[in-house]
A and B are shown apart, each in its own frame.
Chain A
Amino acid sequence: MSGTTIPAVALRRRRRDLGYWLDHERALGYMLVAPVVLLLLGLVAYPFMVAIGYALSNRTLADAGEFVGLDNFIDLFDDDIYLQTLRNTFVFTAGSVSLRLVFGVGLALLLNESFRFSRLIRAAVLLPWIVPTVLGTMAWLWMFNPNFSVINWVLVHSGLMTEGPNWLTDPDLALFCVILVNAWRGTPFMAITVLAGLQSIPQDLYDASAIDGAGKFQRFFYVTLPLVMPVLLTALVLSIIWTFSDFGIVYGLTKGGPMNATHVLATLSYQAGLAAGNIGEGAAISLTMLPMLLVLIIWQLRRIRRSTVL
């Protein structure tokens, strides 16, 4: 940890006035996190407990239902559609996050170079992230349209294919499409976050490594990467969370079809909880995301902590 106490300062201050507390590591720590904790206790923890109650009941939209213990969860693991959705969600997340990572880090390195119109280009690459998800997804829906696909028009007219692929029809291709659109949407976040990390690397370190005779690739792996690692890992974790619980893109493009090939947990939860009205089941589906994400987060947090000791 970096916040090491400096004994001289600690000894100098004896009076316990506000200044003392503002300087007291533990007290200040609690003071700074308290507002956040209070907000989340009030506005997340309470509705969350209510939602857990739903998941343990056979509640529907109209009827409070009764406590059924873990029945909802037991039923889920006996349900082919749920199991297929679970598999889809992992493929979706792994695929999209890998694409974001590769595109995002690559783009950050590119944007870190100096070239003309760089401001314009930096603004332009942010667009997919800014455009409201539902509207951006509509544009892709229009581009993947089974009968009006502009992508296919290009493929056919450039002579690459005689007939374009049916993007959202073929189960595997449809899953690829939702992954691609999710990566499209998420890449700017990854890129800009990593770019901010790159910008804060002191030039001295590069100068020093240059004196030591390090090449470009060595510099990337021994200087750049370790220094942006905490930011990169944070962005990675956020990307995983967003993708794992993403709703809008699948809902907008395929509604989970064809034949449930693109259903992810959030869309299935919506379908069960709202469209079919089984709030209990819907809540249970959403809740199963938590332990999986939790394992991942704790593991990543450890890595973030460790990476700071570099």
Chain B
Amino acid sequence: MDTPRSLTPPSSITRRSLLAATAAVPLATPAIAQNALKGTKLTILVGQFYVPENNAQLDQLAVDVAKDTGMEIHVERLAGDELGVKTAAVVATGRGADLSIGVEFDTYLYASKLADVTDLANEFGKQYGGWLDVAKQACMVGGKWKSLCIGQAPAAWNYRVDQFAAAGINKFPDTFDDLLKAAKVLHGKGTPIGMTLGHASGDGRSTNYPVLWAFGGKEFEKDGRTVALNSAETLRAVEWYKEIYQYFIPGTTAWLDPDNNQAFLAGKCSATVNVNTIYLASRAAAPTNPVMKNIMENMDHGNWPRGPAGRFASYNINTWLPFASSPNRAGQMHFLRAWFDKSFLPKWTKTGQSYFIPTFAGFDNLDVWPEDPKLKIFRELNKLNRLEGYAGPPTPSAAEAVSKYILVDMFAKACTGQLKPKAAVEWAAKEYEQIAKKHRA
């Protein structure tokens, strides 16, 4: 049961359901679809999208599909970390849900328990002008699509234009050297910047991997098996970090995902790496809250600076994980079609205010981009990112390194002086070797 074709054996599912499963426009499918899916059940695990209307749209889609097909659909919403636990339990036991939202590495970790959705992926790719490379990397395992990329949340530099201007900086720094200089001046003015160096599952990654890459450092060779972390480039990245760390707001090594948002919103931090939730939160509260209004008016988003090796970013990616254990594969496919339908996804994207952006090349030309000038940058950022594990493909080894926060801790150990930069790099390289050895076996 590896391809969509064979997932509809004549014995259990009728020809009608095959038609239903391959019909292109789900919400307008004729009666045949209704009969095939009527009375079946579909449980979908989802997380909390930051923009509340996005959650409501998803719920409404489920209601519409249910009405249209007679299928019983349950959408169960959990917070990020708990969604991960629940998804893991479904993967391990084959019970509890038919579809779930996963993060970037889940496809690799769970590939053997996921249905092949290559045909759907090709169909949607064609529909929206092709998938971005990052989607292919995140969703394809062994040449087959095992998940469908929902989108990614681009992280940018959030900074206080007013505080930067007060420090004589009128444009967000374009190089790592300039960023370092800016941090020093801002620190002197009592308005320090901060980068997350704690075990934060989202910001820990999106803040720290780009630094490594900008200096030309890499975790693995192209084969994804040979550890390449211990290099002069990595060492330079660590040394840069150690230097800029002394100008940070105190506490960044304990920062979890919400902490940089809170520090920034309280006006205590003049710049940090984050998705646009800081801006969206301040904008939402601005009408009734003068403090937030002030933040909203005085902040903006900046691109990552350019390092010796270029400009890179790392984002959180979400994917639809279709569990192969699901007894309702036709229902799964039907729901995914409804999600990626032209009547839904562009509208959903526009509502999301560039917090979450689908990974299709053709979206550039669609009317999905927010009007707000301070959110314009995310359209470009959507094309900037890399997946962890570079220069190799995303592998279980890279995933394990992420979940163990090895790279974050490498920087943190050097920044806090617990280890000398060279020793920190060596420590991290040793951890990587151990991880890689396990997965090579």
Interface residues of A (CB under 8 A from B): 58, 60-63, 68, 75, 78-81, 141, 144-148, 163, 166-169, 171, 174, 254-260, 271-272, 274-279, 281
Contacts and interface: CB of A to CB of B under 8 A. Distances in A.
B341 to A, nearest CB: 29
B109 A61 contact: yes
Contacts of A79: 434
A256 B199 CA distance: 7
Interface in B18-54: none
B92 interface: yes
Given A81-B404, A169-B251, A257 B109 contact: no
A58 B266 contact: no
A259 B85 contact: no
B266 A146 contact: no
Nearest to B419: A259
B269 A259 contact: no
B165 to A, nearest CB: 23
Interface string B246-287: 000111111110010011001011000000000000000000
Given A75-B438, A145-B259, A258-B198, A276 B110 contact: no
B400 A174 contact: no
A274 B84 contact: yes
A277 B88 contact: yes
A279 B441 CA distance: 16
Given A259-B418, A276-B109, A276-B396, 20 more contacts: A61-B91, A62-B91, A75-B438, A81-B404, A147-B262, A148-B266, A169-B252, A254-B198, A255-B200, A256-B199, A257-B198, A257-B408, A257-B412, A258-B197, A259-B412, A272-B404, A274-B85, A275-B84, A277-B109, A277-B396
A257 B403 contact: no
A148 B85 CA distance: 30
Contact of B427 (A61, A80, A148, A174): A80
Contacts of B255: 146
Given A61-B110, A254-B254, A279-B92, A78 B263 contact: no
Contacts of B251: 146-147, 166, 168-169
B113 interface: yes
A260 B418 contact: no
B239 interface: no
B301 interface: no
B394 to A, nearest CB: 13
B418 A147 contact: no
A80 B430 contact: yes
B250 A257 contact: no
Contacts of A61: 88, 91-92, 109-110, 113
B153 interface: no
Nearest to A141: B256
Interface string B168-200: 000000000000000000000000000001111
B409 interface: yes
B206 to A, nearest CB: 16
Contacts of A254: 198-199, 254, 256
Nearest to A177: B254
A80 B259 contact: no
Contacts of B111: 62
B412 A258 contact: yes
Binding site secondary structure of chain A: loop
A78, A171, A254, A276: residue with the most chain B Cβ atoms closer than 10 Å: A276
Contacts of B269: 147
Nearest to B82: A134
Interface residues of B, number: 47
Given A62-B113, A147-B263, A278-B400, A257 B268 contact: no
B413 interface: yes
Given A62-B112, A80-B430, A146 B252 contact: yes
Contact of B434 (A78, A168, A260, A277): A78
A146 B434 contact: no
Contacts of B434: 75, 78-79
Interface in B121-159: none
Chain B residues touching A, majority SS: helix
Given A145-B259, A276-B403, A169 B253 contact: yes
A166 B416 CA distance: 13
A169 B109 contact: no
Contact of A80 (B252, B396, B431): B431
A59 to B, nearest CB: 9
A58 B254 CA distance: 33
B259 A81 contact: no
A83 to B, nearest CB: 12
A276 B404 contact: yes
Output the residue of A58, A81, A256, A258 with the most chain B CB within 10 A.
Answer: A258
Contacts of B109: 60-62, 276-277
Contacts of B253: 169, 257-259
A204 to B, nearest CB: 54
A163 B112 CA distance: 53
Contacts of A62: 91, 109-113
A58 B200 CA distance: 27
A259 B409 contact: yes
Contacts of A145: 259, 262
Q: Kindly name the residue among A61, A79, A144 whose own CB sees the greatest number of chain B CB atoms within 10 A.
A: A61
B431 A81 contact: yes
A169 B256 CA distance: 11
B69 to A, nearest CB: 29
A257 B254 contact: yes
B399 interface: yes
Contacts of B249: 146-147
B363 interface: no
A163 B268 CA distance: 14
A270 B409 CA distance: 18
B241 to A, nearest CB: 14
A257 B405 contact: yes
Interface string B428-440: 0011001000100
Given A145-B262, A275-B84, A166 B250 contact: yes
Contacts of A81: 404, 431
A255 B84 CA distance: 15
B254 A258 contact: yes
B55 to A, nearest CB: 22
Nearest to A279: B92
A255 B199 CA distance: 6
Contacts of B88: 61, 274, 277
Contacts of B403: 271, 275-276
Contacts of A144: 254
A304 B412 CA distance: 46
